[in-house]
Amino acid sequence: MSSVVEVGDIRDWQGLSVVDATGSKIGSLEGVYFDTSTDQPSFASVKRGVPAKLVFVPLVGATVTPKQVRVTVDKKSAKDAPSIDTDGELTSELEPTVYGHYGLTYERGASGERRLGRR
């Protein structure tokens, strides 16, 4: 994640275009999920498609400009990512699937708590 971006600015990201490394638009940023153990932004929920659904893309290595969030995953990986309805909720059961889709290791917190929290 770019250290230039202040975490307090995340609410301003909502609605920004989310693009892959080549500039192809994945969708519009809907929300940001934080790692509950580090309090760092970990995933974005991105609204895409018709009918609209929310897919999850990792924010590791992402850069933010005034008009877009550029992520390191490609559009196809994001398109095929686990999704929920636009009025749905990321369940604790779906969290390992989201991490696994991108080849990321998933571990629950020390007390078994969920890994991601939405802000």
pLDDT digits (tens, 9 = 90+) for 26-37: 999 999 999 988
Structure tokens at 67: 């008009």
Domain boundaries, the chain: 7-118
CB 14 within 8 A of CB 29: yes
Task: For 26-67, write each residue's pLDDT tens digit.
Answer: 999 999 999 988 888 899 999 998 889 999 999 999 998 889
Structure tokens at 75: 């559009």
CB 59 within 8 A of CB 1: yes
Cα–Cα distance between 36 and 78 in angstroms, integer? 23
The pTM score is: 0.86
Cα–Cα distance between 73 and 58 in angstroms, integer? 8
Task: Look up tokens 């693009």; give the residue.
Answer: 19
CATH topology of domain 7-118: SH3 type barrels. (2.30.30)
